[in-house]
Amino acid sequence: MNRAVNGPSATARGVAISALVAAENGERANLVVPQLLTRSGLDERDKAFATELAYGTLRMCRACDWLVGQFVHSPLEPQVRAAARAGAYQLAFMRVPAYAAVSATVGEAPRRARPLLNAVLRRVATLVEAGPVAWPDLGTRLSYPDWVIRRLGEDIGPERAVAALQQMNQAASPSVRADGYVQDPGSQAVAEYVAALAQGRPGPVLDLCAAPGGKATLVAHSAPFVVGADLAASRANLVTGNAQRLGLDNLAVVVADGTAPPFRPDSFTAVLVDAPCTGLGVLRRRPDARWRVRPEDTDRLASLQRRLLGGAAPLVAPGGALVYSVCTLTRAETVDVDDWLAHELGPGWGEVVAPPGPPWEPLGRGALLLPQTAGTDGMYLLALRRSH
Ligand SMILES: C[S@@+](CC[C@H](N)C(=O)[O-])C[C@H]1O[C@@H](n2cnc3c(N)ncnc32)[C@H](O)[C@@H]1O
């Protein structure tokens, strides 16, 4: 742990560099950054700077590595590599003046590495100041793995993919609901859509993958009764905690495997399957996720999504609706899952419920919300009604 993150000598750059080292060691940035900030003693302004520096450097890591790699050709030890990346990020993407960025960042590196780091960052500063950087390729410029760019380009079209990926390089501004819960407007739209489907109908609503409870709690504000299930007990506890905090006594929480749910058939007026997914529509919220998700995750998760829908469909009462949503944009997890549903569900499932209108756009029988259209998270939604 960097000496500078504890106590009165903590600096914003020291905190950010420690977070980068921890993330390299496999820790989740979304967890480690708040922990480091809490014990840093930094004021709010410095905390905001440290957060932007840590998350931004993680997002733009490939671009930063390329900038640094122009001037240093041997591997750097983790602490020095993190400082070099953070320095490059300040120079290229935060537009911090070189006189401030270089010396303050170098001061956070181990003493023996400072001359090298100083020389490298000065040269990065010169390169950045010389005008538009001649990035070697799109993947480096946008700072995503090549497979993500390729996959989304194939699945939603190259121009839309690039616009989505660019938008997800910007930090999300917090969006707070009327009840104080922080939730992206796209997710709120999904919950409101489910709530509207259940409006005026008898019978409870089930959120089969409910944790941490964002959608279930919003639905519970208008539906008479909601059940929130989740596979992980620790995550189900998050739903309970959120329901208590919001004073919702009509939201029951169950630990259950949604692929084999412990509920009677035909018992819910609406079942939401807000399934685990690759999360390629919410990368702005999870700065390190783009480096963790693997191409093979798409098929593995699509298989889980199908099994969850297979578990959910029999629980819908006649006249009720099955709603599928994911916060990703891949074909395998959206329209391909719907193709499977069209084939798999019986004749009682012919009716498609009209998806939400703009900013959502029609995609197959469902709808897609692109991150760039309204500055929300990216997601997909599909609803089918069971007639009998
Ligand atoms: C996208 S998140 C749900 C977000 C939630 N609906 C909300 O709005 O706050 C997916 C959830 O599915 C859960 N999950 C994963 N596998 C599951 C399974 N087999 N059965 C039920 N839940 C599962 C995960 O623990 C995770 O909490």
The whole-number average pLDDT for the span 170-195 is: 96
Do 128 and 269 lie in one domain? The reply is no
Residue with tokens 């074909």: 331
* pLDDT value of residue 168: 97
Percentage of the residues of the chain whose pLDDT score is greater than 70: 98
Ligand 1 center from residue 230 Cα (angstroms)? 6
Number of domains comprising the chain: 2
Do 276 and 353 lie in one domain? The reply is yes
Do 217 and 99 lie in one domain? The reply is no
Do 281 and 381 lie in one domain? The reply is yes
* pLDDT value of residue 3: 44
Answer yes or no: is 131 within a domain: yes
Between strands 268-274 and 366-369, the pairing is: unpaired
Do 372 and 240 lie in one domain? The reply is yes
Answer yes or no: is 211 within a domain: yes
For the chain, what is the mean pLDDT?
A: 95
Answer yes or no: is 82 within a domain: yes
* Separation CA 215–CA 248 (nearest Å): 13
Whether residue 8 is predicted with pLDDT greater than 90 in this model: the reply is no
Do 217 and 286 lie in one domain? The reply is yes
CATH classification at residue 189: 3.40.50.150
Do 13 and 111 lie in one domain? The reply is yes
* pLDDT value of residue 172: 87
Tell me the pLDDT tens digit for each residue of 65-94.
999 999 999 999 999 999 999 999 999 999
* pLDDT value of residue 1: 43
* pLDDT value of residue 347: 86
Q: How confident is the model at residue 9 (pLDDT cuts 50, 70, 90)?
A: low
* pLDDT value of residue 186: 97
CATH classification at residue 98: 1.10.940.10
Tell me the pLDDT tens digit for each residue of 221-276.
999 999 999 999 999 999 999 999 999 999 999 999 999 999 999 999 999 999 99
Last residue of a domain, one of 109, 136, 163: 136
Last residue of a domain, one of 136, 166, 194: 136
Q: Which residues have a catalytic role annotated?
A: 327
Do 381 and 236 lie in one domain? The reply is yes
> CB of 211 closer than 6 A to ligand 1?
yes
Do 195 and 83 lie in one domain? The reply is no
What is the best residue among 177, 181, 190, 209 to mutate for testing ligand 1's pocket, by most ligand atoms within 8 Å of CB?
209
Query: Can you give the residue range of the structural domain that contains 271?
Result: 185-385
> CB of 279 closer than 6 A to ligand 1?
no
The whole-number average pLDDT for the span 345-369 is: 94
Answer yes or no: is 107 within a domain: yes
> CB of 297 closer than 6 A to ligand 1?
no
Do 88 and 217 lie in one domain? The reply is no
Answer yes or no: is 176 within a domain: no
Given a contact cutoff of 8 angstroms between Cβ atoms, the answer to whether 330 and 279 are in contact is no
Answer yes or no: is 159 within a domain: no
Whether residue 19 is predicted with pLDDT greater than 70 in this model: the reply is yes
* pLDDT value of residue 2: 45
> CB of 274 closer than 6 A to ligand 1?
yes
Last residue of a domain, one of 136, 156, 174: 136
Ligand 1 center from residue 165 Cα (angstroms)? 24
Q: Please return the burial class of 222, using the count of CB atoms within 10 Å of its CB with bins 0-12, 13-18 and 19+.
A: middle
Ligand 1 center from residue 154 Cα (angstroms)? 27
Do 329 and 262 lie in one domain? The reply is yes
pTM of the full predicted structure? 0.94
Tell me the pLDDT tens digit for each residue of 280-318.
999 999 999 999 999 999 999 999 999 999 999 999 999
Q: Which two tokens stand for residue 117?
A: 């780091």
- Alpha carbon distances (Å) from 207 to 228, 273, 341: 5, 6, 18
Measure CA of the first residue to CA of the last residue in the chain; give whole Å.
Answer: 61
Do 374 and 238 lie in one domain? The reply is yes
The whole-number average pLDDT for the span 130-148 is: 97
Q: How confident is the model at residue 173 (pLDDT cuts 50, 70, 90)?
A: confident
> CB of 213 closer than 6 A to ligand 1?
yes
* Separation CA 172–CA 347 (nearest Å): 42
Answer yes or no: is 180 within a domain: no
Answer yes or no: is 81 within a domain: yes
